[in-house]
A = this chain, B = another copy of it.
Amino acid sequence: MTNALNRRGFLAAGAASAGALAAGSAKAANPFEPKEWGQFLGAGVDDEPYGTPSEYEAHVIRRNVPWLTADSVSSINFTPLADLEGFITPNGLHFERHHGGRAIVDPAEHRLMIHGLVDKPLVFSLDDLKRLPSISRFYFIECAANGGMEWRGAQLNGCQFTHGMVSCVQYTGVKLSTLMEMVGAKPNGKWVLAEGADAAGMNRSIPMEKIMDDCMIAWAQNGEALRPGQGYPMRLVVPGFEGNMWVKWIRRLEIGDMPWFAREETSKYTDLLEDGRARMFTWVQDCNSVITRPSPEKPWLDRKGFHMISGLAWSGRGSVKGVDISLDGGNNWIPADLEGPVMPKCLTRFNLPFDWQGQEMLIQSRAYDDTGYVQPTFAQNRAVRGVNSIYHNNSVHTWHIKPDGRVENVQLV
């Protein structure tokens, strides 16, 4: 704790290294030496109608884990959290989870049908939906299996793989309460089946109470159309609930009086407990967090001195209220700074200035939300869930900082 700094600590702690910068940098690259890009004209404004990242950022990509599933058409790619700043996930780096491959849907041929226990079943085209009152909201989406591989111990060395099944964008679409009003959902319509138009025909049962609270049919992410991997031309948005329920390429909503007990809410997306029973309908993505810098991808090899410890926190129940950082494996905790705007069911970045002098550390982040819920330890989660879980791992995560600055994924027992 003596090494945690106040916000202005970089001046004292960093003065020496800042002084060294001039000399060190001059050796590496002479700022007075003409550079190629300063001597020759670059490309015109007409050569890239849709912009792309710099060639020097080719390493900032979504990655997958080939052994995780039997086939890449029913698998996941992960957001490179360690390379991201702020709380928005750029669309090109949004994680993807498909059950039948990334569907390429023609919006002119696509329809959303709403039927079942309604006064008037309706079929909507994308243009029909866009004509209705729309809203824009920032929400995170997290796969229920995020961190799932870690239930068996520290498996993967990098926050892209331990926590990269979470992304956060501004969604635009129509509230489902608006659509339910238009079709006249009947009072005994307590459940809604959401079904996708992809080859998997993904379907999930969602309680009407949630549908009416804050669900949306979205057609845009971060201002532009949804990407194919996120359900173009329309997807269900179920704020705070597991990503599997956010049905992509959505084509059908059926209103009924009980759940459908679909494959993805019985054989999958349930939590197998120690005694062989399974928890079903465990929808909420509880409060969670991860330190993205330092991390296995962002070691502190380069130098001692001032660093920012930085990461992301979120809660499916509301807003992140605070994040505490431990440098000693959970014995002592220091409050981090939250970066605003802090919004409900949205990623929130936290930062802690720190002066690192080569000490070995076990660093952790522990978030809590505005309901009072505090992110649990692995031991606390296992006490309830046993050792058979795949989903809903929101345990406090530990990075081991080595004296040389390397970072390893470890688990404290």
Among residues of B, the one whose C-beta sits closest to the C-beta of A50 is B92
- Which of A10-18, A146-154, A372-380 forms part of the interface with chain B? A10-18
Interfacial chain B residues near A1, Cβ < 8 Å: none
Among residues of B, the one whose C-beta sits closest to the C-beta of A71 is B44
Interface residues on A, range: 35 or more
Residue A19 lies at the interface, judged by CB distance under 8 Å to chain B:
yes
**How far, in Å, is A164 (CB) from chain B's closest CB?**
12
Interchain CB contact under 8 A, A136 and B45: no
Question: Known: A72-B45, A111-B31, A308-B134. Is A91-B251 also a contact (CB below 8 A)?
Answer: no
A86-110 Cβ-contact flags toward B at 8 Å (1 or 0): 1111111110111011111111111
Interchain CB contact under 8 A, A302 and B199: no
State which of B14, B108, B224 has its C-beta within 8 Å of the C-beta of A90.
Answer: B224
A31-62 Cβ-contact flags toward B at 8 Å (1 or 0): 10001011111111111111111111100111
Interchain CB contact under 8 A, A25 and B199: no
Question: Known: A39-B199, A88-B222. Is A73-B44 also a contact (CB below 8 A)?
Answer: yes
Residue A155 lies at the interface, judged by CB distance under 8 Å to chain B:
no
**How far, in Å, is A44 (CB) from chain B's closest CB?**
3
Interfacial chain B residues near A121, Cβ < 8 Å: 22
Residue A274 lies at the interface, judged by CB distance under 8 Å to chain B:
no
State which of B14, B51, B105, B229 has its C-beta within 8 Å of the C-beta of A91.
Answer: B51
Interchain CB contact under 8 A, B94 and A51: yes
- Which of A75-83, A282-290, A321-329, A403-411 forms part of the interface with chain B? A75-83
Task: Give the CA-CA distance A127 to B108 in the complex, in Å.
Answer: 47
Interchain CB contact under 8 A, B232 and A35: no
Interchain CB contact under 8 A, A251 and B61: no
Interchain CB contact under 8 A, B84 and A224: yes
Interchain CB contact under 8 A, A42 and B98: yes
Residue A318 lies at the interface, judged by CB distance under 8 Å to chain B:
no
Interchain CB contact under 8 A, A90 and B197: no
Interchain CB contact under 8 A, B353 and A133: yes
Residue A157 lies at the interface, judged by CB distance under 8 Å to chain B:
no
Interchain CB contact under 8 A, A101 and B227: no
Interfacial chain B residues near A47, Cβ < 8 Å: 72, 102
Residue A122 lies at the interface, judged by CB distance under 8 Å to chain B:
yes
Interfacial chain B residues near A85, Cβ < 8 Å: 134, 136, 172, 219-220, 223-224
Interfacial chain B residues near A45, Cβ < 8 Å: 62, 64, 72-73, 75-77, 96-98, 102
Interchain CB contact under 8 A, A224 and B93: yes
- What would be 20 A-B contacts, judged by CB atoms less than 8 Å apart? A14-B132, A31-B111, A35-B197, A41-B199, A42-B104, A44-B75, A45-B75, A46-B66, A48-B62, A49-B63, A57-B225, A60-B225, A85-B134, A86-B136, A89-B223, A92-B92, A131-B303, A133-B353, A136-B349, A222-B222
Interface, chain A (partner B; CB < 8 A): 7, 10-11, 14, 17-19, 21-22, 25-26, 28-29, 31, 35, 37-57, 60-64, 66, 71-73, 75-77, 83-94, 96-98, 100-111, 113, 120-125, 127-128, 131-136, 170, 172, 178, 181-182, 197-199, 201, 219-220, 222-229, 232-233, 249, 251-252, 302-303, 305-308, 339, 341, 343, 349, 351, 353
Q: A18-B182, A21-B123, A44-B101 are known; give 11 further A-B pairs, CB within 8 A.
A: A14-B131, A31-B113, A45-B64, A49-B62, A49-B77, A51-B228, A52-B227, A60-B225, A84-B223, A92-B224, A132-B308
